[in-house]
Amino acid sequence: MSTVQVVRAGEPVVRSGETSRRTQGGNRGGNRAGARVRGIAARVVTWVFLVSGLLSLAMAVHAPLSDRAYSAPPLVVDLVFATSWPSLGYGTVLLLLARSLARRKRAAWWTAVVVTGLNALFNLVWDASAVGVPALGLLVQQGVVLALLVLARPQFRVLPSRLGVRRAISWAGGALVVWLAVGTALVLATQETSGALLSRIWYAAAGTLFSVDSFVIFPDGVLVPAWVDVTLNSAGTVLVLLVTWFLFQPAADPAALGADEERLRSLLATEGEGDALGYFNLRRDKTAVFAPNGRAAVVHRVVGGVSVVSGDPVGNETSWPAAVAAWRAQLAEHAWVPAVVGASESAAAVYHKAGLQVLEVGDEAVLDVEAFSLEGRAVRGLRQAVNRARRAGTEVSIRRQREVPASELAELAAAAQEWRDGRERGFSMALGRLGDPCDPDLLVATARTADGALAAVLTFVPWGSRGVSLDLMRRDREAVNGTVELVVTDVVDFARRNALRRISLNFAVFRSVFDRGSRLGAGPVLRLGYRVLVVFSRLWQLEQLYRSNAKYQPLWVPRFVCFERTADLPWIGLAVARVEQFLPQRRG
């Protein structure tokens, strides 16, 4: 049976399939327009709370401004100052709320709705009791804000931190009850006028919750010394800020590989030849995000709302973009800031295509086993150090961890812990699992003195099937100079005998600045950068690390840091400093 298409005069002919395509296109256009409108609404409410917070702080700090504000025409007061209170605590809460709204946090949206609703209800009740009629300007202002919040709700997708919510509830519940009891007791003990018990409780509650002079809200004749008001307000401010901070703090990842460790080991076994940092992704304080096909993963750790990735994605290079996309989707769910440290050039290109900026930050020192030699003037200092250690009778032993007796492994682990330098750092190139049976292929190199005393312990993790990467380097402070250099050169000989072709020693931050900044003819900018880094090296041994690698005459392989926005760099710097242990660790 044939289908007859009826076309009326003046109507365009629509061929088969075009209707659905046009409908889909129209839907997509409508969705984009709706998303644009919702985005504008979200930005508007963010600015409303930001301005309200600034006004609240300004009026709290400068009393004449508060008096002038409330002496303005009623319509101006209702429209401009309706969401503002002269309170340091309340103003700071609004600023935190504005920041979290800007990051599209769902908890911030709910808080904004509650604050707006309560603020409108309270002011309406107050105006009705004071002047007999509700303020029209207030109705307009609060109604518009609530309407914009409802319109923008789909924009707020960022999930809250469960730990933060639990902390917020515990502080809001437990600490608030305790402090209200203490505040009420203070009011009862210091009041200078008589009044109903309920009024005095309300006075303490208002001073604690709103951090403003309570008689402004409840003018019922309760009068207490000024220090009581200050105490109530200060405690209430701290309490509200703590609750708000916990409620809006970024969610933390589980920070545990769990069952994903075996999946990563499988990927490293088949696709682990490319990145010298690949095996360090097995650290158990990291979390893996896999590509949909499971053939690649981005491994990261979240610190202070920053998702720190070290090195390249694990797995097949053709699946890296999908893994990066999955990682970016998880970041969007939690408003985490992306940060990649030590990416290779090929991985940096993938991250760049995913929307991140790329900056060269240093170089990885890699020894070519076949090309390495102790002959020649360039390695004269290294050769002398090695010979010095040999003449002292130092003996080197190199084995896989599975070949080391358990009793000796315990001795090595104890010595490594005892020799740990308080300034020693590690995250990007540190595994720290000497003695763990899950890492049988760990290369363990030890040095002992002529009388058998342990002098140094070095460990190397596998780098695919043709190389190793330095993990742990510890030595006795009393060991003869050149002990570590002897161990490294013997590891090179071991590698030649066992068909290993490359050894990754370490990562030198700003290597090119240290290399060229001290040379004759260096430009003023380079010299200035060198001098600044020398100052930081006194704390973090940056130049010493470069010099200790340079004496082996390695190949320098550039490594990159990837980030989304320049404004995020301070937070990224703090997060990286924490994971690399330049700063003290804390939870979350």
Tally of CB atoms within 10 A around 112: 25
106 pLDDT tier (thresholds 50, 70, 90): confident
Q: Which of 477, 439, 479 is nearest to 459 (CA)?
A: 439
In a domain, 14, yes or no: no
> At a CB cut-off of 8 Å and minimum separation 6, what does 518 contact?
530
Residues 120, 170, single domain; the answer is no
Q: How far apart are the first and last CA of the chain?
A: 69
What is the 3 state secondary structure string of 363-383? EEEEEECCCCCCCCHHHHHHH
Res 5: pLDDT: 39
Residues counted in the chain: 588
pLDDT in tens, 50-92: 888 888 777 776 655 555 555 555 545 555 555 666 667 677 7
Domain tally, the chain: 4
- Joined together, the tokens standing for residue 369 give 């086993």
Element (H, E) at 479: none
Residues 511, 437, single domain; the answer is yes
Q: Is the pLDDT of residue 21 over 50?
A: no
pLDDT in tens, 154-168: 877 776 666 666 666
Among residues of the chain, what percentage have pLDDT more than 70?
65
Element (H, E) at 112: helix 106-131
Give me the helices (H) in 481-568, please: 483-497, 511-517, 524-540, 542-550
8 pLDDT tier (thresholds 50, 70, 90): very low
- Predicted structure pTM score: 0.67
Res 22: pLDDT: 46
Residues 211, 136, single domain; the answer is no
Residues 141, 188, single domain; the answer is no
Domain boundaries, position 135: 30-159
In a domain, 555, yes or no: yes
What is the 3 state secondary structure string of 514-535? HHHHCCCCCCHHHHHHHHHHHH
- Joined together, the tokens standing for residue 423 give 């300034």
As a whole number of angstroms, the distance between CA 315 and CA 294 comes to: 9
Res 314: pLDDT: 93
- Joined together, the tokens standing for residue 20 give 């659905």
In a domain, 428, yes or no: yes
In a domain, 180, yes or no: yes
- Joined together, the tokens standing for residue 540 give 């973090």
Residues 153, 234, single domain; the answer is no
Q: Is the pLDDT of residue 500 over 80?
A: yes
In a domain, 243, yes or no: yes
Q: Is the pLDDT of residue 377 over 80?
A: yes
Residues 226, 284, single domain; the answer is no
- Joined together, the tokens standing for residue 75 give 């319509």
Res 124: pLDDT: 65
* Contact between 341 and 297 (Cβ < 8 Å): no
Res 229: pLDDT: 67
* CATH code, domain carrying 474: 3.40.630.30
Boundary of a domain, candidates 159, 176, 208: 159
Q: Is the pLDDT of residue 147 over 50?
A: yes
Residues 306, 319, single domain; the answer is yes
pLDDT in tens, 394-418: 999 999 999 999 999 999 988 888 8
Res 4: pLDDT: 38
Q: Which of 412, 428, 429 is nearest to 420 (CA)?
A: 412
In a domain, 3, yes or no: no
CA distances from 537 to 22, 362, 461 (A): 63, 15, 27
As a whole number of angstroms, the distance between CA 502 and CA 366 comes to: 7
As a whole number of angstroms, the distance between CA 350 and CA 364 comes to: 19
As a whole number of angstroms, the distance between CA 455 and CA 586 comes to: 33
Residues 329, 438, single domain; the answer is no
In a domain, 283, yes or no: yes
Residue with the larger pLDDT of the pair 137 and 131: 137
Res 521: pLDDT: 54
Residue with the larger pLDDT of the pair 114 and 438: 438
Res 133: pLDDT: 45
Residues 397, 348, single domain; the answer is no
In a domain, 8, yes or no: no
Boundary of a domain, candidates 249, 271, 295: 249
Residues 172, 154, single domain; the answer is no
For residues 135-170, one letter each, b for 16 or more C-beta atoms within 10 angstroms of the residue's C-beta and e for the rest, the string is: bebbbebbeebbebbebbbebbebebbeebeebbee
As a whole number of angstroms, the distance between CA 470 and CA 395 comes to: 20
pLDDT in tens, 541-588: 665 666 677 788 888 888 898 999 888 888 888 888 887 766 555 544
Question: 364 phi and psi, to 5 degrees?
Answer: -95, 135
As a whole number of angstroms, the distance between CA 100 and CA 248 comes to: 7
* Contact between 578 and 571 (Cβ < 8 Å): no
DSSP string, 303-325: ETTEEEEESSPEE-GGGHHHHHH
Partners of 395 in beta bridges: 448
Boundary of a domain, candidates 249, 275, 302: 249
* Contact between 339 and 575 (Cβ < 8 Å): yes
Q: For the residues 507-533, what does the mean pLDDT come to?
A: 59
Residues 403, 339, single domain; the answer is no
Res 130: pLDDT: 46
Res 223: pLDDT: 64
Residue with the larger pLDDT of the pair 575 and 197: 575
Res 491: pLDDT: 93
Long-range contacts of 267-273 (CB under 8 A, 24+ apart): 267/295, 267/296, 267/297, 267/314, 267/315, 267/316, 268/314, 268/462, 268/464, 271/295, 271/296, 271/314, 271/315, 271/316, 271/317, 272/314, 272/462, 272/463, 272/464, 273/463, 273/464, 273/465, 273/466
Residues 557, 544, single domain; the answer is yes
pLDDT in tens, 307-350: 999 889 999 999 999 999 999 988 887 778 899 998 999 999 99
Opening angle at CA 587, ends 581 and 588, nearest 5: 100
Res 64: pLDDT: 59
